[in-house]
Structure 1
Amino acid sequence: MLRKYEIGAFILRILLGFTFFIHGLAKFQDGIENTVGFFESIGLPGFSAYVVAGIELIGGIALILGIGTRVISVLLALIMIGAIFKVKLAGGFLGNGQMAGFELDLALLAISAYLALTNRSAFALDNVIFQSKRDNQLEG
């Protein structure tokens, strides 16, 4: 029987996965070179744009499927911390008319942290994988 928190974690996992998948996909579709240039303009190494976009794209898919949820959530939380402190903090919580604020980044950070800390999410492949490992340990 599903518990309410498992259904809540499922909803958050799908939302977070879809959001980051779309952001990662956009970075590649819009020309990753643009993202590389932006990263370099704020003092980050250009290759980190590929790392971030890859984590967002592949991590988004993994979250939707429920694979490696805790690890992916930690990586996404770190990306959000970097985005808040390196880019968005100067614009304030709601933005300053020239750039967006960090309210969305903070919400995504909170969701990532929750998923990294929570025990289970409904309809996740992790549940199937770890259940079979537990079953094998019990049998052996």
Structure 2
Amino acid sequence: MRRFAVKLPPIAQDVVLLIARIGVGIVFVAHGWQKFQTNGLDATAQAFQGMGVPSPTISAYYAAGAELIAGTALILGVLTPIAGVLLALDMFGAFLFVHAPNGIFASDGGWELVGALGLFALVVAVVGPGRFSLDRLIIRAPARETVAA
């Protein structure tokens, strides 16, 4: 079977991973910061309670902390398997308890944004942060192998 996929060189893959990690990480950090800043975590917990989120106070603290701390870890590319899983779980909770009943479109309160963010976080947890990351510097791992087509 003939494949028509364009294969980027590993350095380009790592640059794309870096840019994507930074962009998505900024979105997570902004949402985590918003939970602390807007009206504080008590207001976030109250909002969560109104949406039917279980254990709204614990959930508010988890969501804010995960988005802020793991989002920062995603930007830096440090502890990415842990950060990615924590963020994916955060987005799964948002999907399950808040957004799924509203359909797909974010403009209707739907799940498209939390779905995209959560899936990206999960991919980075599995694939890794790429060459331009603190994980790579700390572990001094060789560049990841690309899968032959």
Instruction: Assess same fold via TM > 0.5.
Output: yes
RMSD of equivalent CA atoms: 2.0
Normalised to the residue count of structure 2, the TM-score between the two structures is: 0.79
Structure 2: gaps (5+ residues): 1-8, 143-149
Structure with the bigger RCO (C-alpha within 8 Å, sep 6+) is: 1
Q: 1:54 to 1:120 in 2, by over 3 A?
A: closer
Larger relative helix fraction: 1
The count of aligned residue pairs is 131
Q: 1:120 to 1:19 in 2, by over 3 A?
A: closer
User: Is the partner of 1:117 in helix, strand or coil?
Assistant: helix
> Residues 50-129 of structure 1 correspond to what in structure 2 (within 5 A)?
50-94=61-105, 99-129=108-138
Alpha carbons 2:21, 2:129 under 8 Å: kept: no
Q: 1:20 to 1:29 in 2, by over 3 A?
A: same
Structure 1: gaps (5+ residues): 135-140
User: Is the partner of 1:3 in helix, strand or coil?
Assistant: helix
- Larger mean CA deviation between 13-22 and 37-46 belongs to 37-46
Letter in 1 for 2:19: I
Aligned residue for 2:35?
A: 27
Normalised to the residue count of structure 1, the TM-score between the two structures is: 0.84
TM superposition shift of 1:58: 1.0
TM superposition shift of 1:21: 0.5
Identity within the alignment, %: 37
Residue 54 of structure 2 corresponds to residue 44 of structure 1: yes
Aligned residue for 2:20?
A: 12
